[in-house]
Amino acid sequence: MYRILFVCHGNICRSPMAEFIMRDLVTHAGLGGKFHIASAATSREELGNPVYPPARRKLAEHGISCAGKTARQLTQEDYSQYDLLIGMDRTNLRNVSYILGGDPEEKLHLLLEFAGRSGEGIADPWYTGDFESTFRDVLAGCKGLLAHFTGTK
């Protein structure tokens, strides 16, 4: 089983979008039983809150439900429980590394690395208001991530 944890600042926009987009892609590929996919925050600001309404609406436009998801914070235990911890931007990765005390097994990556866009982060729609661009970037990253695991392009 492949275990993936997506991480962003508050776990109400980008990382839950990635969690549920990836789950949808995996399900449609018939690989649901081979993946455990979740998301978390680096901050405590939104703990217990549901997915931000505009992010929830954007997912729903594409037939993807995120019902029941509430924000949770990354813990040190997550490092041993996941194969990959995927941040949405460099600040997320820096904060993840701080919380975890480093990355000795090189599990930390940016999502867009898997879309062939190394070094690029996904803009936070909380600030930009552009949930469509965020959705497209997350989808590209998740498609690349699925291809990484399946060996397809």
Catalytic positions, written as ranges:
8, 14, 124
**Three-state SS annotation for the chain:** CEEEEEEECCCCCHHHHHHHHHHHHHHHCCCHHHEEEEEEECCCCCCCCECCHHHHHHHHHCCCCCCCCECCECCCCHHHHCCEEEECCHHHHHHHHHHHCCCCCCCEEEHHHHHCCCCCCCCCHHHHCCHHHHHHHHHHHHHHHHHHHHCCC
Report the candidate in 108, 121, 131, 97 with the shortest Cα–Cα distance to residue 13. 131
